[in-house]
Amino acid sequence: MMSGGGETNPLAAGGPAPHLPVLLEEVLAALAPADHQLFLDGTFGAGGYTRALLNAADTRVLALDRDPNAIAGGAALVGAAAGRLILRPARFADFEKETLASGLASAMPAFDGITLDIGVSSMQIDEAGRGFSFRQDGPLDMRMERAGRSATDIVNEASAEELADILYYYGEERESRRIARAIVNDRAQTPFTTTRQLAELIARLIPSKPNEIHPATRTFQALRIAVNDELGELVRALVAAERALKPSGRLAIVSFHSLEDRIVKQFLADRSVRGRAPSRLLPGEIAPPAATFENVSRHPIVAGEAELARNPRARSAKLRSAVRTEAPARGADAKLTALAALPAPRDRRR
């Protein structure tokens, strides 16, 4: 799958990656890189997928990341790739604009393969100053780009109703209303500024139970998704990938929780030829649009025992992959977009 990898391989420059790329061999198998192909790694992180794509064949890669730390950390790999890698600070949903700006292509479709590793990276979680985790005390921030509205802003400014919706729909937190009311009550006395403050409040409300996740887990996930518009970015990236992949181009998406996986699953199911039985149309009936992707398998690929032993964070990862057909891209639709958004006030749960 990968060539080289020893000390003689210049693409190993920059030292070992600070975290392990999840389902690396499976992602490479899904993308099947070959010489002279162009790939997008929309979530560069520590460069694990990009490095593997460059090592696997004489490929070119456009890699993006919202996090300025990731861009700075990838400088050595850019140098070692000798012009085969372009690394840009950008959201992955904006890759078409970055492709044209970089001169890699003059129009779409341009890519032979696209991969996205959705969500927060191990590096971000492990750095207390980023505020992504309740395991270490730090500022309540969670901004991948270190710009814009932070988790502190949301927690201290949003209404109890908006907070409850964020926690319920983005964190699947059953105690969302109770937590939201407690936040609004406590912030009137002391605004929330640290991860520990928020985690301790939730721990008081919802005692932890043996063999279950920490009671603050879902709240922190929900706030992170809201701060970074992660689900909206995913929807936009999937629609862009449909436009940007050449016929027979390959898409590989790694997700880490049910909200992300539901969006990827629905997108591929709606666009896929798999499971669609041919039928005659009734007089006046409009033919369904042609399938733009062919699913590689019905079920997602998950990490095996060996990988889980090396990297416990892979336990929730799911890989879904598909191959682009020759049918024209369809673009966004309301049903898919709705999966990424909070409901309108009249549609909220009762």
Residue 90 lies in a domain: yes
> What is the pLDDT at residue 14?
43
Domain ranges, residue 176: 123-228
> Any idea which residue has 């009249």 for tokens?
346
pLDDT tens digits for range 123-143: 556 665 676 788 889 999 999
Closest-CA residue to 95 (of 294, 234, 298):
234
Q: Which of 200, 228, 256 is the last residue of a domain?
A: 228
H-helix or E-strand spanning residue 254 = strand 245-255
Q: In this structure, are 223 and 186 located in the same domain? A: yes
Residue 272 lies in a domain: no
Question: What is the pLDDT confidence band of residue 7, given thresholds at 50, 70 and 90?
Answer: very low
Residue 161 lies in a domain: yes
Angle ∠(327,300,58) on CA atoms, nearest 5: 65
Residues 6+ apart with CB under 8 A from 88: 62, 63, 64, 71, 98, 102
> What is the pLDDT at residue 1?
36
> What is the pLDDT at residue 348?
56
Q: In this structure, are 32 and 54 located in the same domain? A: yes
> What is the pLDDT at residue 20?
77
Q: In this structure, are 198 and 70 located in the same domain? A: no
Q: In this structure, are 220 and 238 located in the same domain? A: no
d(CA 215, CA 209): 9
Q: Which of 171, 199, 228 is the last residue of a domain?
A: 228
Q: In this structure, are 200 and 255 located in the same domain? A: no
Question: What is the pLDDT confidence band of residue 196, given thresholds at 50, 70 and 90?
Answer: very high
Residue 35 lies in a domain: yes
Q: In this structure, are 192 and 331 located in the same domain? A: no
d(CA 168, CA 226): 12
Q: In this structure, are 316 and 217 located in the same domain? A: no
pLDDT tens digits for range 48-69: 999 999 999 999 999 999 999 9
Q: In this structure, are 328 and 179 located in the same domain? A: no
Q: In this structure, are 171 and 53 located in the same domain? A: no
Q: In this structure, are 75 and 117 located in the same domain? A: yes
Q: In this structure, are 69 and 116 located in the same domain? A: yes
pTM of the model: 0.88
Q: Which of 205, 228, 251 is the last residue of a domain?
A: 228
Q: In this structure, are 116 and 18 located in the same domain? A: yes
Please tell me the total count of domains within the chain.
2
pLDDT tens digits for range 199-248: 999 999 998 888 888 999 999 999 999 999 999 999 999 999 999 999 99
Question: What is the pLDDT confidence band of residue 147, given thresholds at 50, 70 and 90?
Answer: confident
Give the CATH number for residue 252.
3.40.50.150
| Residue with the larger pLDDT of the pair 312 and 183 | 183
pLDDT tens digits for range 247-294: 999 999 999 999 999 999 999 999 996 655 556 667 777 778 899 999
Residue 45 lies in a domain: yes
> What is the pLDDT at residue 273?
67
Residue 200 lies in a domain: yes
> What is the pLDDT at residue 2?
38
> What is the pLDDT at residue 50?
98
Give the CATH number for residue 170.
1.10.150.170
Contact 79, 13 (CB under 8 A): yes
> What is the pLDDT at residue 211?
82
Contact 62, 41 (CB under 8 A): yes
Taking CA atoms, 73 is separated from 46, 126, 177, in Å, by 7, 15, 40
Both tokens assigned to 28: 């490479």
> What is the pLDDT at residue 350?
43
pLDDT tens digits for range 161-183: 999 999 999 999 999 999 999 99
d(CA 212, CA 341): 28
Mean per-residue pLDDT of the chain: 89
Mean pLDDT, residues 23-29 taken together: 97
